[in-house]
Amino acid sequence: MPELPEVETIRRELEREVVGKRVKSAEVHGTRTVRRQPKKQFITRLDGVKITGVDRKGKYLLLRLDSGDELVIHLRMSGQLLRAAAKDPMPKHTHVVLTFTQGGQLRFVDPRTFGEMFVTSPDTEDVDAPELAELGIDPVEEPISWQTFARLLTARKTKLKAFLMDQTVLAGIGNIYSDEILFAAGLRYDRDTDSLSSQEIRRLYRAVIETLHEAIKYGGSTLADDQYVDLNGKPGEFQEHHKVYDREKQPCRRCRRNLVHKAKFQQRSTFFCEVCQV
């Protein structure tokens, strides 16, 4: 599933590609992608609006519209946003198409159909999308001090990986980046949040910020079994820099003597080095 770095990559591209453009028409195919409101209402609220900005909160994209509304997009497992010319062949599983008056289209393609789009407004967001209001701090959008981070960490007694992936505390980190962050910090996924020394808290804090920014620099991660591509259909490159994620039984890139170990945590794979992470 795309996480903060992948969604941020798309946000930056959307900022260049669609801000200032006006929607000539919106088309919706099928019933899965637009499921939170009637299809007709979705289409009407997009008709003729100009996109004035693109924000992100965690894994959600929020396109600001000159009507005062916002178009919310969540890619979930396999959603892709692709720019295209109207004459380009329509890929399979295209569920939503926005055509701009200036020409060009933005298409939402999603084979597994967990992804979602809906139009809401800042006034009704709480009711239309309560999960947005529950999101915690986005560590890239809202830089926090290590003291604030330490307060968040010590306020919850849980395992480190669960803490990092809790969207109501920090928004945007999932299975891939929690593993990479924990490796960078030299900490195990199953350490208790209240067991860290202040030096370890600082290391974890730095690892969160640095890992996410580094991943954004490389356009996010595209995995063999994953569907993530950017607005131009190009895969990310950060997977080539993964230290542990999806590297089971390969030599650790730090100690070079131990093989990366794979464990199960909350029904998901977690990758770590038993020597480098304590």
* Identity of the residue numbered 208: V
Comparison of 63 and 252: residue with beta carbon closer to Zn ion: 252
Closest CA to 217 of 209, 205, 228: 209
Which of 2, 5, 139, 161 is catalytic? The answer is 2
Active-site position among 56, 57, 59, 161: 59
Exactly one of 54, 201, 216, 276 binds Zn ion (CB under 5 A); that residue is 276
CA 158 to chain CA centroid, Å, is: 23
Is 153 a binding residue for Zn ion by CB under 5 A? The answer is: no
How deeply is 27 buried, as exposed, middle or buried, from its count of CB atoms within 10 A (0-12, 13-18, 19+)?
middle
Residue 3 is a catalytic residue: yes
Q: Confirm whether 16 is a catalytic residue.
A: no
By CB under 5 A, residue 258 contacts Zn ion: yes
Residues 186-205 binding Zn ion (CB under 5 A) are none
Q: Which is nearer to Zn ion, 35 or 262 (CB)?
A: 262
Q: How many residues does the chain have?
A: 278
Q: Largest alpha-carbon pair distance within the chain?
A: 60
Q: Are 92 and 111 in contact (CB under 8 A)?
A: yes
Task: Determine whether 130 is an active site residue.
Answer: no
Q: Is 206 in the active site?
A: no
Interaction of residue 124 with Zn ion, rule CB under 5 A? no
CA distance 176 to 1: 9
Q: Which stretch binds Zn ion (CB under 5 A): 44-52, 119-127, 206-214, 248-256?
A: 248-256
74 Cβ contact partners less than 8 Å away, ≥ 6 residues apart: 59, 60, 61, 115, 116, 117
Q: Please work out the total of residues on this chain that contact Zn ion, with binding judged by CB under 5 A.
A: 7
Interacting residues toward Zn ion by CB under 5 A? 252, 254-255, 258, 273, 275-276
User: Which amino acids are annotated catalytic?
Assistant: 2-3, 59, 268
